[in-house]
């Protein structure tokens, strides 16, 4: 019989592709950590998302699973996790690990994170949901073409989604920092703007060319960019982030400010708390959720699902983030 503090944990689920394939190298250590404590919980490493979802759907409703991977791994597992109302403990072994930062887990070793994930209490956190229409091809958009996905850290639209796609196309041996650096450089060379209308909580925020229009559930995204200082996973709102059609030079200057959270008040950059973000574009916009590329969207609607997921937080509270203002000044081209 497992120790009392792990009795509700039914499965450890490792994504062998997480962290560009590096997560699987920790499998033996994690298995040994379980055996050393006399824990007989299965540790599975299914090769496909469909296999992982099937395993999750077999777990008892309300039980706890430990997910070994990153933000993208957890996001892909969310349909089954939410359907079965499973609690989640996270062992962060992804490329970005922005949710782990938000939860105060990113400083733990994999074996420490595993032990903590099984014994600590779970608390509710907010989740984001996006519905999008892909570009119509040769006629009217069919209802069956509308897609929906939940996310834990971020929904990126525009430049940052392009970066996520380009990073996925780079050799995994480069490592996360070099892959994203290369992807950013390539996206800058191909710099593109999208003519959009943006509404936040039914009020028009902006109408014009945009570099990006994203929604964050965590303070950081893209592997540590402090794009939403003050954002928390239980704050009851998302952080809508909009950058107007900046030039290549101004975009280049913006990126280090985003990394340090110093972009507030920059001309052409707007952010505010939002429960619903709606974007319509005259050109298809690339989308990515938690660093995973979703495809192109003619329009997309992002909304908050308050307290939808129960998750284990870190052993110590994270430092108090800087409060985020409720709204910024209206951009000059907004109506």
Claim to verify: residue 216 and residue 155 sit in the same structural domain: yes
The domain boundary residue, chosen from 102, 120, 138 = 120
Claim to verify: residue 97 and residue 144 sit in the same structural domain: no
Look at residue 189 and tell me if it is in a domain. yes
pLDDT at 334: 33
Look at residue 218 and tell me if it is in a domain. yes
CATH of the domain at 13: 3.40.50.10330
Look at residue 315 and tell me if it is in a domain. no
Claim to verify: residue 108 and residue 32 sit in the same structural domain: yes
Claim to verify: residue 157 and residue 66 sit in the same structural domain: no
Look at residue 154 and tell me if it is in a domain. yes
Claim to verify: residue 70 and residue 144 sit in the same structural domain: no
pLDDT at 335: 32
Claim to verify: residue 100 and residue 223 sit in the same structural domain: no
pLDDT at 320: 44
Look at residue 330 and tell me if it is in a domain. no
Claim to verify: residue 103 and residue 132 sit in the same structural domain: no
Claim to verify: residue 48 and residue 136 sit in the same structural domain: no
Task: Give the CA distances from residue 156 to residues 29, 38, 163, 214, in Å, rounded to whole numbers and listed in that order.
Answer: 34, 43, 10, 5
pLDDT at 137: 60
pLDDT at 3: 47
CATH of the domain at 229: 2.60.200.40
Q: pLDDT tens track of the chain, all 335 residues?
A: 344 355 589 999 999 999 878 889 999 999 999 999 999 999 999 999 999 999 999 999 999 999 999 999 999 999 999 999 999 999 999 888 999 999 999 999 999 999 999 999 999 999 999 999 988 664 444 444 679 999 999 999 999 999 988 887 777 666 667 777 888 889 999 999 999 999 999 999 999 999 999 999 999 998 888 999 999 999 999 999 999 999 999 999 998 898 888 888 788 999 999 999 999 999 999 999 998 999 999 999 999 999 999 999 998 655 544 444 434 433 333 33
Domain that holds residue 172: 127-309
The domain boundary residue, chosen from 66, 101, 120 = 120
Which class for 65: exposed (0-12), middle (13-18), buried (19 or more C-beta within 10 A)?
A: buried
pLDDT at 91: 97
Claim to verify: residue 76 and residue 213 sit in the same structural domain: no
Claim to verify: residue 169 and residue 133 sit in the same structural domain: yes
Give CA–CA dist 175/93, Å, rounded. Answer: 13
pLDDT at 316: 62
Look at residue 332 and tell me if it is in a domain. no
Claim to verify: residue 301 and residue 242 sit in the same structural domain: yes
Claim to verify: residue 258 and residue 202 sit in the same structural domain: yes
Overall number of domains in the chain? 2
Look at residue 328 and tell me if it is in a domain. no
Look at residue 183 and tell me if it is in a domain. yes
pLDDT at 164: 87
């Amino acid at each position: 019989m497992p120790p009392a503090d792990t009795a509700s944990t039914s499965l450890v689920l490792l994504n062998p592709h997480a962290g560009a394939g590096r997560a699987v190298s920790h499998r033996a250590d994690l298995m040994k950590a379980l055996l050393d404590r006399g824990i007989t919980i299965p540790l599975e490493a299914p090769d496909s998302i469909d296999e992982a979802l099937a395993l999750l759907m077999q777990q008892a409703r309300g039980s706890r699973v430990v997910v070994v991977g990153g933000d993208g791994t957890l996001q892909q597992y969310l349909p089954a996790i939410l359907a079965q109302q499973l609690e989640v403990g996270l062992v962060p072994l992804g490329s970005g690990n922005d949710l782990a930062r938000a939860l105060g887990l990113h400083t733990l070793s994999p074996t420490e994170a595993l032990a903590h994930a099984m014994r600590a209490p779970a608390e509710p956190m907010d989740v984001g949901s996006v519905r999008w229409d892909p570009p119509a091809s040769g006629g009217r958009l069919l209802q069956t073409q509308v897609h929906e996905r939940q996310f834990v850290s971020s929904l990126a639209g525009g430049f940052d989604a392009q970066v996520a796609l380009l990073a996925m196309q780079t050799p995994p041996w480069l490592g996360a920092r070099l892959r994203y650096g290369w992807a950013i450089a390539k996206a800058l060379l191909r710099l593109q703007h999208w003519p959009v209308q943006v509404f936040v909580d039914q009020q028009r925020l902006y109408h014009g060319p945009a570099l990006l229009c994203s929604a964050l559930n965590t303070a950081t995204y893209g592997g540590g960019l402090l794009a939403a200082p003050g954002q928390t996973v239980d704050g009851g709102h998302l952080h809508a982030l909009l950058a107007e059609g900046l030039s290549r030079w101004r975009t280049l200057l913006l990126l280090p400010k985003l990394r340090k959270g110093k972009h507030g008040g920059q001309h052409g950059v707007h952010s505010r708390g939002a429960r619903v973000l709606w974007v319509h574009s005259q050109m298809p916009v690339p989308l990515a959720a938690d660093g995973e590329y979703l495809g192109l969207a003619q329009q997309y609607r992002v909304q908050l699902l308050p307290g939808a997921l129960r998750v284990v937080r870190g052993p110590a509270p994270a430092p108090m983030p800087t409060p985020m203002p409720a709204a910024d000044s209206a951009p000059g081209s907004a109506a």
